[in-house]
């Protein structure tokens, strides 16, 4: 592929990257808060809350994300005869609901790894539940969930490529179309570079946060 | 620590740049790498798919016949293929008695990775033979044309749910598709051909017995292969990929021995691509 062709392709790839980033950030906006709610539900004493949550976690983590995209995008038509919603929002909704499940389990893992003795000690010291959570529990949980969260964020950056099955013009889709038109693999290499740079930034961001929080080391 | 990160970042960037340069910059040679076997499989025809019972089908079908009669279709075909290879039956009075919807917007669904029928050019615009033909039909009927790229796997769902009005993308007509959609009469003839490496020495279907071929999934190449039972049985393996370029990439690097694909598209790839696909 000639250098002029690559240069002419770059604006389209940047646009695709912006679409991918849009999906990325809006998905996080939905799934992080919802993940906290679901983690709380999963740890609830009441079975009536716990079981539906467990079912949700099973379905969302147990079915392919691509399948979920088809389901949320074409489902309304095939189930209710309704017109499909906007493609981008269907993708964001699907990713949001899917990643909620993964984040919920990460949050739960972090919370349950705190020894019960700490809660007891806090009670003895006369701390309220809110004080216990914000001053003792939460800072430790945060440090423990950062590595798996970093992995999930990186996975999300790459998963945005799946949105192309409902024809969202994101980065990988543009690269694949260009590769077909120019009969060249170079667009794929370019896409790999773009994803690598994005994930480098995510990884580095998490590294900086982890460093900031390791105040005892 | 900062220095270590900086050095590492520089090395990584250098590595990535090297990768990009290694992957390109080769001259566009005359194709020596790939050839099409003379012996073709099922001849088939391209048609346009609409929702079952949609009145648009008849209107577009009639318009195509008129355009064939007045030479527009021939001009477009010559532009893309060098001669008029359309199989439309000319009829300048085809639209008489056909109620044409006024001022409609036709949403054309396509997989924009299918040159020369519909694909992206250097400026990322969607171009192709089907696009030009559709534009001519819409101009004639006074309609607006909107292009909607879709995933080929999901084309029936996109059509039935109303996201697109038609599938117009070098779609080969077969029984299943004609049963599921209202299709126009064929407008282009096509065959499923086998693309092999020039240095492989294969020249007939029997040369490929015991070999592996690749084809695009959800394409009529798969059903054409099913129809050619004895040939299919003689093969060691059949691999499916998402699009034809991936099939050709595997052919180039020796992962498969032949690719089964539309002759119309094969010609485009062989004349556009260089001897190795980079």
CB-CB neighbours of B110 under 10 Å: 27
Out of B171, B190, B209, a domain closes at B190
- Taking the CA of residue B141 and the nearest CA in chain A, the distance in Å comes to 27
Q: Are B171 and B128 in contact (CB under 8 A)?
A: no
User: Is residue B207 a part of any domain in this protein?
Assistant: yes
Selection from B261, B243, B216 nearest residue B112 by Cα: B243
Same domain, B220 and B182: no
Q: Band the pLDDT of B222: cuts 50, 70, 90.
A: confident
Question: B29 vs A134, B142, B250, CA distance in Å?
Answer: 67, 43, 20
Question: A21 vs A11, A65, B103, B106, B134, CA distance in Å?
Answer: 15, 18, 38, 31, 34
B51 — alpha (psi -120 to 50), left (phi > 0) or beta? beta
Flag the least confident range among A18-32, B75-89, B104-118: B75-89
Tokens describing residue A188:
């794929």
User: Is residue B16 a part of any domain in this protein?
Assistant: no
Which residue on chain A is closest to B114 by alpha carbon? A180
The rounded distance, in Å, linking the Cα atoms of B278 and A188 is: 11
Tokens describing residue A174:
């543009």
Higher pLDDT, A148 or A6: A148
Q: Are A173 and A19 in contact (CB under 8 A)?
A: no
Q: Band the pLDDT of A172: cuts 50, 70, 90.
A: very high
Taking 90 as the threshold, does the pLDDT of residue B198 lie above it? no
Query: Collapsing DSSP states into helix, strand and coil, what is residue A102?
Result: helix
* CATH assignment at residue B217: 3.40.190.10
Give the pLDDT score at B273. 65
Name, in order, each residue with C-beta under 8 angstroms of B101's C-beta and a sequence gap of 6 or more.
Answer: B55, B56, B59, B143
Interface mutation vs chain A, best among B1, B112, B253, most A CBs within 10 Å = B112
Selection from B147, B114, B109, B143 nearest residue B129 by Cα: B114
- Taking the CA of residue A111 and the nearest CA in chain B, the distance in Å comes to 32
Taking 50 as the threshold, does the pLDDT of residue B277 lie above it? no
User: Is residue B12 a part of any domain in this protein?
Assistant: no
Give the pLDDT score at B263. 85
Average pLDDT for residues A55-76, to the nearest whole number? 95
Same domain, B242 and B128: no
Tokens describing residue A99:
């990643």
Percent of chain B predicted with pLDDT > 90? 38
User: Is residue B173 a part of any domain in this protein?
Assistant: yes
Average pLDDT for residues B217-238, to the nearest whole number? 86
Tokens describing residue A14:
């940047």
Flag the least confident range among A66-80, B144-158, B204-218: B204-218
Helices (DSSP H) in B115-203: which residue ranges?
A: 129-141, 155-160, 175-180
Q: Does B272 touch chain A (CB under 8 A)?
A: yes
Taking 90 as the threshold, does the pLDDT of residue A1 lie above it? no
With CB atoms and an 8 Å threshold, state whether A181 touches B120.
yes
Give yes or no for a cis peptide into B116 (omega within 30° of 0). yes
User: Is residue B203 a part of any domain in this protein?
Assistant: yes
The rounded distance, in Å, linking the Cα atoms of B138 and A22 is: 35
Tokens describing residue B127:
């171009």
The rounded distance, in Å, linking the Cα atoms of B168 and B112 is: 11
Give the pLDDT score at B27. 39
Residues in chain B: 278
Give the pLDDT score at B11. 83
Give the pLDDT score at B22. 59
Average pLDDT for residues B37-49, to the nearest whole number? 86
Q: Count structural domains, chain B.
A: 2
Q: Where are the beta strands (DSSP E) in chain B?
A: 34-36, 43-50, 105-110, 113-114, 118-120, 126-127, 144-149, 166-172, 182-183, 188-197, 212-216, 237-241, 258-262
pLDDT tens digits, residue range B88-133? 998 888 888 888 888 899 999 999 888 889 998 878 889 999 999 9
User: Is residue B195 a part of any domain in this protein?
Assistant: yes
Give the pLDDT score at B33. 77
Nearest Cβ partner of B163 from A84, A186, A189? A84
Same domain, B163 and B148: yes
Which residue on chain A is closest to B26 by alpha carbon? A1
pLDDT tens digits, residue range A123-170? 999 999 999 999 999 999 999 999 999 999 999 999 999 999 999 999
Higher pLDDT, A147 or B222: A147
Selection from B246, B264, B265 nearest residue B256 by Cα: B246
Taking 50 as the threshold, does the pLDDT of residue A110 lie above it? yes
- Taking the CA of residue A42 and the nearest CA in chain B, the distance in Å comes to 35
Give the pLDDT score at B81. 79
Same domain, B34 and B59: no
Out of B167, B190, B213, a domain closes at B190
Taking 60 as the threshold, does the pLDDT of residue B59 lie above it? yes
pTM confidence score: 0.80
Higher pLDDT, B92 or A90: A90
Same domain, B38 and B49: no
Percent of chain A predicted with pLDDT > 70? 100
Average pLDDT of the residues of chain A? 93
User: Is residue B231 a part of any domain in this protein?
Assistant: yes
Question: Range of B58's domain?
Answer: 44-190
Out of B190, B208, B239, a domain closes at B190
Q: Does B20 touch chain A (CB under 8 A)?
A: yes
- Taking the CA of residue B263 and the nearest CA in chain A, the distance in Å comes to 16
Which residue on chain A is closest to B273 by alpha carbon? A183
Same domain, B148 and B96: yes
Percent of chain B predicted with pLDDT > 70? 92
* A contacts of B161 (beta carbons < 8 Å): 74, 77-78, 83-84
Average pLDDT for residues A96-113, to the nearest whole number? 96
Query: Collapsing DSSP states into helix, strand and coil, what is residue A208?
Result: helix
Same domain, B85 and B49: yes
* A-B C-beta contacts closer than 8 Å: 107
Residue written as token pair 């396509």: B110
Give the pLDDT score at B23. 54
Same domain, B101 and B174: yes
Q: Are B134 and B73 in contact (CB under 8 A)?
A: no
pLDDT tens digits, residue range B13-33? 878 777 666 555 443 333 357
Average pLDDT of the residues of chain B? 85
Give the pLDDT score at B78. 85
CATH number of A3-213: 1.10.3720.10
Q: Does B49 touch chain A (CB under 8 A)?
A: no
With CB atoms and an 8 Å threshold, state whether B154 touches A77.
no
Higher pLDDT, B216 or A100: A100
Selection from B278, B22, B111 nearest residue A173 by Cα: B111
Phi, psi of B108 (to 5 degrees): -95, 120
Q: Are B49 and B182 in contact (CB under 8 A)?
A: yes
- Taking the CA of residue B148 and the nearest CA in chain A, the distance in Å comes to 9
Query: Collapsing DSSP states into helix, strand and coil, what is residue B259?
Result: strand
User: Is residue B170 a part of any domain in this protein?
Assistant: yes
Interface list for chain A against chain B, based on CB atoms closer than 8 Å: 1-3, 5-6, 8-9, 11-12, 70, 74, 77-78, 83-84, 164-167, 169, 174, 176-186, 189-190, 192-193, 196, 200
The rounded distance, in Å, linking the Cα atoms of B214 and B267 is: 17
């Amino acid at each position: 592929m000639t250098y002029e062709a690559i240069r002419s392709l770059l604006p389209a790839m940047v646009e695709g990257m912006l679409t991918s980033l849009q999906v990325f950030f809006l998905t996080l906006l939905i799934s992080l808060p919802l993940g906290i709610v679901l983690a709380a539900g999963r740890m609830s004493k009441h079975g009536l809350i716990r079981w539906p949550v467990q079912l949700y976690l099973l379905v969302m983590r147990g079915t392919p994300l691509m399948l979920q995209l088809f389901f949320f995008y074409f489902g309304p038509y095939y189930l209710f005869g309704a017109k499909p919603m906007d493609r981008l929002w269907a993708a964001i909704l699907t990713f949001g609901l899917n990643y909620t499940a993964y984040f919920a389990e990460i949050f739960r893992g972090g919370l349950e790894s705190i020894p019960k003795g700490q809660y007891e000690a806090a009670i003895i010291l006369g701390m309220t539940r809110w004080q216990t959570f914000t001053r003792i529990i939460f800072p430790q949980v945060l440090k423990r969930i950062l590595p798996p969260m970093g992995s999930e964020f990186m996975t999300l950056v790459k998963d945005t490529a799946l949105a192309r099955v409902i024809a969202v013009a994101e980065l990988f889709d543009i690269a694949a179309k260009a590769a077909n038109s120019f009969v060249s693999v170079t667009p794929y290499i370019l896409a790999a570079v773009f994803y690598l740079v994005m994930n480098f930034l995510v990884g580095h961001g998490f590294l900086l946060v982890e460093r900031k929080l390791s105040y005892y080391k | 620590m900062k220095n270590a990160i900086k050095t590492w970042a520089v090395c990584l960037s250098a590595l990535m740049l090297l990768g990009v340069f290694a992957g390109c910059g080769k001259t566009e040679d005359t194709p020596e790498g790939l050839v099409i076997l003379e012996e073709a499989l099922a001849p088939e025809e391209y048609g346009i798919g609409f929702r079952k019972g949609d009145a648009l089908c008849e209107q577009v079908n009639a318009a195509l016949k008129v355009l064939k009669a007045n030479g527009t279709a021939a001009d477009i075909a010559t532009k893309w293929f060098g001669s008029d290879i359309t199989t439309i039956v000319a009829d300048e009075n085809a639209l008489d008695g056909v109620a044409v919807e006024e001022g409609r917007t036709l949403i054309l669904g396509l997989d924009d990775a299918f040159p020369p029928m519909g694909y992206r050019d250097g400026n990322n615009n969607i171009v192709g033979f089907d696009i030009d033909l559709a534009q001519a039909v819409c101009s004639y009927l006074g309609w607006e044309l909107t292009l909607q790229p879709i995933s080929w796997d999901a084309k029936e769902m996109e059509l039935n749910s109303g996201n697109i009005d038609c599938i117009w993308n070098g779609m080969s007509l077969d029984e299943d598709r004609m049963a599921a959609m209202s299709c126009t009469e064929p407008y282009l003839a096509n065959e499923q051909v086998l693309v092999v490496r020039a240095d492989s020495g294969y020249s007939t279907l029997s040369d490929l017995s015991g070999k592996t071929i690749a084809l695009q999934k959800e394409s009529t190449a798969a059903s054409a292969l099913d129809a050619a039972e004895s040939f299919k049985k003689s093969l060691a393996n059949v691999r499916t990929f998402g699009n034809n370029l991936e099939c050709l990439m595997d052919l180039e690097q020796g992962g498969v021995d032949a690719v089964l694909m539309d002759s119309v598209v094969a010609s485009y790839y062989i004349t556009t691509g260089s001897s190795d696909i980079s």
